[in-house]
Amino acid sequence: MTIRLRFLTILLLAAWAGRSEIRDILKSSEIDALMAKTQKSTDVMVKTNYIISLRVQTEPGSFVTHPDADEIWLVRRGEAKLSLGESTLATGVKRTGKDYDLAKGDVVNVPRTMAYLLAPSSRLEYVVIQIFPTERHFTAGRGGGQGGRGGGQARPMPDVVPNATIQDTFLKNTTNQPLHSLGAASMNHVIYNGAPGPYEIHLGCDDLYFVRLGSGTAKLDGRLLDPKEESPGEIRGTTGVYGAREHKIGVGDILVIPRNTVHYMDPGNVKLGYLLLKVWE
């Protein structure tokens, strides 16, 4: 598929999916229900710069290439053997000898230059974020704000981050920890240690939250009462927000926060931890 055709397809899908795409939050129970109905893949959010899909695989496959998008996976259920290979138009797929055992909670990074082969030992269910841009054109806010701290330097992400490593990071730390910061997306462990964060607006990126520890309350959208631009493209407030939608969040939930949208997180008196994927415009 040519890049132009791919782009037109994304635009058409975005227009078609507007009635059913995620608004604010997709609860863990809703994800499970959608996964149960999914045979191969279900798109739950379609935008011009990324797509969120739910994928299912039950049988070993062959090598798959995706030259138009980088992919981040979050395994929800099942186990599988993952094999990676380098992929180019000139040489095709070249196995690299990189094999991994995937299990629930693992996070996988598959750049567009890599091919992958999955061999599930049981029904494998995983969330996929396809990221289409290759560069970060809006440079503001790389390290600003509660959601962005720790992401200021280029930090390539490992092929696979095991669930045990992710949980250990959340449990042992009280401040945000970087996971990946390179190109058109970045990923951090965001930690609220029993205290709320600021009211935030990001002008250059969408925020995707994948809750992994604890619970809390999210306030989204509305009008920020005392906006101040802390750095270019990064708006903060301390007084409050008018007209926000409020949601209780917990482990397994996915939150989607489009750019230019007010958001605020309150964990109450417990620790809240989520993986934050920033996708730049």
Read off the pLDDT of residues 154-192 as tens digits, 9 standing for 90 and up.
668 899 999 999 999 999 999 999 988 767 889 999 999
Do the Cβ atoms of 267 and 196 come closer than 8 Å?
A: yes
Q: Which two tokens stand for residue 57?
A: 């695989």
Q: Which two tokens stand for residue 165?
A: 């490593």
> 74-85, pLDDT tens digit by residue?
999 999 999 998
98 is a domain residue: yes
Q: Which two tokens stand for residue 90?
A: 């000139």
148 is a domain residue: no
Number of domains making up the chain:
2
Question: Residue range 117-138: average pLDDT?
Answer: 90
Both 126 and 228 in a single domain? no
> What pTM was estimated for this model as a whole?
0.86
Q: Is 148 a residue whose pLDDT tops 60?
A: no
Range of the domain at 94: 3-131
Closest CA to 129 of 72, 189, 77: 72
Both 78 and 194 in a single domain? no
Tell how strand 234-237 and strand 199-202 pair up: antiparallel
Both 167 and 127 in a single domain? no
Which helix H or strand E contains 4, and what residues bound it? Answer: helix 3-17
Q: What is the CATH number of the domain that holds 238?
A: 2.60.120.10
Q: In what order do the strands lie in the sheet with 80-88?
A: 64-65, 114-120, 80-88, 92-102
**CA dist., res. 79 & res. 81, Å (int):** 7
Both 95 and 56 in a single domain? yes
152 is a domain residue: no
151 is a domain residue: no
143 is a domain residue: no
Q: Which two tokens stand for residue 85?
A: 């290979």
Both 267 and 166 in a single domain? yes
> 24-42, pLDDT tens digit by residue?
999 999 999 999 999 999 9
Q: Reduced to 3 states, what is the DSSP secondary structure of residue 34?
A: helix
